[in-house]
Each structure stands twice: as structure tokens, then as C-alpha cells.
Structure 1
């Protein structure tokens, strides 16, 4: 009952709603959870992108703060359903904190395809009141576990581990843990690499060589950053600071897939994977300084792992040509960057 009352009416805002729903999808068997823009900005008709059984889904979160009529819910459903075609997805998931009867759910599902799903308030309540959802419930709704629920939680955790052993999933995780570090990049590791890079560049505070504010390695920037050329011409703006973490999380999900597909693949597949990662990383610009250097270090290591070739500094030596290739990638054409990368292999 407490869970249902916390979900409807909703008082915690859209950001929390989308993050809670991403967690509900994860414990419901979906993988590769990619929130798109929970902190604001255009999301391209997709609040969350997920996968299951080889299919790609776009998910929409509708958490009105007051009771919504079915007509209003249906209008929202039809509007968000357009995200399936717009994003070339296989299915649509609609998460709504409202009561929907069986007939109403059938009415909505008839509007789309065979793989669409609806999580109404009752289905979400059941997921959050299940032992696998207790953590989400505590984190987002601040509803603690009762003593009985704690027992159920630990029993379920033990059963899950046994089932995973039977499916060899734990063995798969151990194999994944032995993959090269570059293949397992995440935000924490990236901050560690950035800190290590600047640790070697420390200058005493009193040194006359210190110009401008000291860079604190490993800290994601808190201000908007721009790239300009030697003539002061604007070249690029990094993503807004409040969107960096989500942008990096989405990038790393895609990178892990791209890396796995590139292992043992044709050189062209490798080059496009490397070029795609490099372009997106420098476009995000997660740090106030050192983004280009760190991107090249990662690129060089990944190239060596995937094709036993390093990447020379020639990649960026011709700055106008390099930025021209990045602008082409911004427009969806990776070919110029791929060609520069091909030429820079050593």
C-alpha cells in the first residue's frame, strides 16, 4: 500500500521518475539500460532505451502529479509511441503511475506492435515490493524493508546466485572481468585515468609556471566548455555539465558493444568503432581540460588491443583537418575521421 501511495500521486519530479523506471526495467529482465535525457533537453521521443531477447525498445515515462483520465493517458501513449519508428526500435514500453484496467491496457497495446509492454502502477508496485525491487524502493521512495522482507531479500539473492551458476552466467561475468580495461570503461575508471594523467603534470602552487586555475584531475567539469580555434572561431560546445554523467553512461554502453563486435573483426569494423567512440567522447568533453589527450590515450590503447597498431599524434597534428572531420561526424558522416585514423595507425 505504501508503495502504491508513493507512486500515485507522484511528487518527486521527472528525473527521479525516469531513473526509478530505468531500475524497474533492469530488474524486469531488460538490459543495456540507457536513460536519454533525464535532466532535460531533447530525448528524441525516448526517455530510456533498453534491450531484451535481441530486440531494442524505446521506453516512455508518464508520471502525472494528479489522477489522469484514460483519454489523457491515451493521448500521451500515442504521442510517445511515435518514438518506435523515429528510433528504428522493435518495441515500445510505456510506464505510467496510473491505474489501467485490462481493457484499457488492451486498447493501448492495440495501437502498436506485438512486442509492446505497459507497466501501470500495479505492475510497478509488484516489482518494487518484490525482493529484487527492495533496493530501488528504498533508494527512490525511501520505503525500508521490514524484518520479513529482509529475510525474503537474502533468500531471493541466494536463489538468484544458484540459478546464475546453473546458467553459467557467473562464469561469463568472470570472463568479462578479464577483458582489457579499455573494453570495460565506465565513469569511475575514466575519472581515475584523468586523475592519473594530471598527477604527472602537477606544478608546485608557488611555481611561476602555473598559469590560470589548477586542473583537478578526475573531476567532471561543473561549467560549460567551448572549443575555439586560433582565430577565436567557435568550433564546438561540450554537453551541459548536468548531462555529462548520463551522456558518458550511454557512451560506455555503446562502446562495450562496439568493442565486443570489433574483436577479431575486419579492420574497417575496428576503425569505425574507434572513430565512433573518439568522436562521441571528445564531443561530450567531460573534463575542463585534458579531454583530447585522454581521448588519444584511450584510442591508442584500444587500437593496439583490437588491431595491434597504435595511433600516432598525426591524428590531430593538422588541427583544421581534424576538426573538420569531427564536424563531419557531428553531421553523421564518420568517413573523414575514419580516414584520418587509418592514416595515423602505426
Structure 2
């Protein structure tokens, strides 16, 4: 049987979910992890008391509790709302900041608004269309294959290669920027202390010091110290050539 195009196969396979709740919770966790959530921590995918929290995770400085709802076939809005409100109680029970709901159910804009209006805290709803789009993106082709048994099409293979090549270029550019910074900071710059008086210093000897503000290393002249002139020159200061921080020179 030929694979359906335009994302329909992913959409229909999700809606007619045939796997157990454990797979649904694991898939929900991977979707959240791919969409900017961190420290994604599933509770008990294989069964057991979870304290009304299928998943605990973090995003935007908030701690979230997430619920997964993957029945077979499309359910009524009243059924979806009942599960939505039940899972949302995990926010109060677990003393977190926000709630995410991951479901294979089709939800219209008005229905999503209706669900969100039931709660007075931050809510993210991952509905059928939204998670289908994520699973049809290059970064989740492998997850889609594992949970939905849908392989990449020829077009998706090209998209995957293009996405991989872009990532490689981004990494190379980042390495080049780091190397340029390291190369710049590794070249010690020679600076002379400037004194409260107008007597000039002599460049007969130098000492490597580090800026207390940014850690940049550079050389300063200590000719006056060698000549025994520090007593009448007054206090000495130097300016960091990297960050511009000015500080009093210690015994150099």
C-alpha cells in the first residue's frame, strides 16, 4: 500500500492510536523535549500512582506538569475536557507553575480556547495537528518511525540531509568564532602603568598579570620598581586592553 502524502499518514495514524498508554506518555515526553522543554521526567509509563503527573519538565523559567491523552479515534469535546481538567489538577497537587496537555485529538481553535479558558495559569496544548507537524519535521523522523512505523519519503530524506548540512555549517561557524576569540586572547598586549604624576616609566622589564575583572592576561612594565622609583612616583594604575577596566597596580 502506497504511503499517503501531505502529512496525512502521520495524522491518521496518530488519531487511530493502537498502542498502550506507556507508548503515549513516552512519545509525549519526546515531543516536549524536542519543542524546548528541558529536564523531561516521566513518572510511571508502565503503570502506578503518579500523583496526577505523567511528566514533569521545565520551560521559560517555569516548572510544568504534563498529561498525555491518546485514545483510539476522535472523542467528543466533553470527553476531552474531562481528561484535560483531571490532568490539570496535577498543577496544584505538585505545586508547579504550568500545565501541558499532549493529545492525539483534533481540536479546533475555538475548542482550544474553551479548554484554556477553564484554567487561570499557563497552559500549552499539543493537539493532533500540532504534534503531527512536529513528527513530520526532520528532527523527529526517527521518533515517528519508532512510534508510528512511518519511514521517510524521498522528499523527507532530502529535507533531512539539508537540515543536517545546515547543522554542520552552524557548528563549524561556532567553532571558528571560538577559535578567533581564543587566538585574540592568547596574544599578550604590552601596556605601561599610568601614574598620578607625569613621570614616564621605562620599558626595561615586564611582568604578566591578569585583569581582575575579565581575566585577560597582558604584560606591564616594572622599570620603576627595578630602579627604586615607586616611592616618589605615587600610586600606579593600569587599564585592561580587553575590557577597559582600571585598577591599582599591586607590587609588580
Q: Partners of 2:98 and 2:173 in 1: how far apart?
A: 30
Answer with 140-149 or 106-115: which moved more.
106-115
Structure 1 match to 2:71: 64
Structure 2 match to 1:150: 157
Q: Which SS does the other structure have where 1:32 is aligned? A: strand
TM-score, normalization: structure 2? 0.63
Q: 1:75 aligns with which of 62, 79, 82?
A: 82
Q: Do the aligned residues in 1 keep the contact of 2:74 with 2:106 (CA within 8 Å)? A: no
Q: Partners of 1:167 and 1:76 in 2: how far apart?
A: 45
Q: Partners of 1:112 and 1:160 in 2: how far apart?
A: 39
CA-atom RMSD in angstroms: 1.8
Structure (1 or 2) with the larger CA radius of gyration: 2
Q: 2:135 aligns with which of 115, 122, 128?
A: 128
Structure 2 match to 1:17: 24
Map of 1:100-179 to 2, 5 A cutoff?
Answer: 100-163=107-170
Give how far 1:165 is off. Answer: 6.7
Larger fraction in strand: 2
Structure 2 match to 1:89: 96
Q: Partners of 2:173 and 2:101 in 1: how far apart?
A: 33
Q: Partners of 1:53 and 1:112 in 2: how far apart?
A: 19
Post-superposition CA distance 1:229-270 (Å, at most 9, x none): xxxxxxxxxxxxxxxxxxxxxxxxxxxxxxxxxxxxxxxxxx
Q: Do the aligned residues in 2 keep the contact of 1:91 with 1:113 (CA within 8 Å)? A: no
User: Does residue 70 of structure 2 align to residue 48 of structure 1?
Assistant: no
Q: Do the aligned residues in 1 keep the contact of 2:99 with 2:124 (CA within 8 Å)? A: yes
Cα–Cα, structure 1 residues 22 and 167, in superposed 2: closer, same or farther, change >3 Å? farther
Between the two proteins, the alignment pairs up a number of residues equal to: 169
Q: Which runs of 5+ in 1 are unaligned?
A: 172-346
Q: Partners of 1:36 and 1:144 in 2: how far apart?
A: 29
Post-superposition CA distance 1:186-219 (Å, at most 9, x none): xxxxxxxxxxxxxxxxxxxxxxxxxxxxxxxxxx
Larger fraction in helix: 1
Cα–Cα, structure 1 residues 58 and 163, in superposed 2: closer, same or farther, change >3 Å? farther
Structure 2 match to 1:4: 11
Q: Which runs of 5+ in 2 are unaligned?
A: 1-7, 179-252
Give how far 1:34 is off. Answer: 0.7
